[in-house]
Amino acid sequence: MPNWWDKPAPVVIPEGYAEFAEQFRILQDVMTAAAPDADQTRTASQLVAELIDVLAQSATDEWSQLSGRLPVPGRGQTLVPAFHIETETETESRGTVRFGRQFLGGNGAVHGGAIPLFFDDAFGRFANTHDRTLARTANLHVDYRNVTPIDTDLAVIVRFDREEGRKRYLTGEIWNGECLCVEASGLFVVLKPGAA
């Protein structure tokens, strides 16, 4: 089986696809925030049915899909809030994230499950770039220090702390201004030869 990580299939990103992926994120935010009446629900449902038909025409396998492969923040993986990287060295990545309305848990706070999702993606990307061989998440730990607000630009720090044999240790933080919202850590284990 081809390995996405070390043998990415050559994909052509069509003009406008990155913008489409961003619109898709907005669609999920708008859908979450809406309270449509019956007419609006019917219209929206028809439009989504058309959208499904259009996209299903180009259904492909994992190795040829475009989502997750784009050279833009978030890589067009619309399940995960996009990490906008501003500076990066081999050991530290800094940037911002904004959890849109679709990531609402309750009372203005980001859903507790969205935060490990974000860190798995941010850690996973960092554990597997800078010429590092393929590693998978073995564990993730998240401390929710303060409420993480939705619809707010938040500062993110991701660190590649150390490597011990096949084990890679990463840590991260999310800040809302001076307020520490989240501390996270993760262990990524380099795959044994032949493991997928």
Ligand X SMILES: CCCCCCCCCCCCCC(=O)SCCNC(=O)CCNC(=O)[C@H](O)C(C)(C)COP(=O)(O)OP(=O)(O)OC[C@H]1O[C@@H](n2cnc3c(N)ncnc32)[C@H](O)[C@@H]1OP(=O)(O)O
Provide the binding-site residues for ligand X, judged by CB under 6 A: 120-121, 124-125, 128-129, 136-139, 165-167, 187, 189, 191-192
Minimum distance of ligand X from residue 80's CB (angstroms): 8
CB of 53 to ligand X, least distance (A): 29
**What single-letter amino acid sits at 95?**
G
d(CA 182, CA 175): 7
Q: Nearest-5° angle of CA 149, CA 151, CA 153?
A: 85
Nearer to ligand X, 104 or 127 (CB): 127
**Does the CA dihedral 98-104-109-113 come out positive or negative?**
negative
Residue of minimal Cβ distance to ligand X: 124
Q: Which residue, 120 or 151, is less far from ligand X as judged by CB? A: 120
Q: What is the closest distance, in whole angstroms, from the C-beta atom of residue 36 to ligand X in the complex? A: 34
Q: Give whichever of 16 and 165 is closer to ligand X, judged by the CB atom.
A: 165
Q: How far is the CB of 165 from ligand X (least distance, A)?
A: 6
**Alpha-carbon distances, residue 152 vs 38, 109, 111, 115, 158 (angstroms):** 31, 10, 14, 14, 19
Considering the complex, state which of residue 6 and residue 53 has its C-beta at the smaller distance from ligand X.
6
Whether 93 and 132 have beta carbons less than 8 Å apart is answered as no
CB of 140 to ligand X, least distance (A): 9
Which of 57/139 has CB closer to ligand X?
139
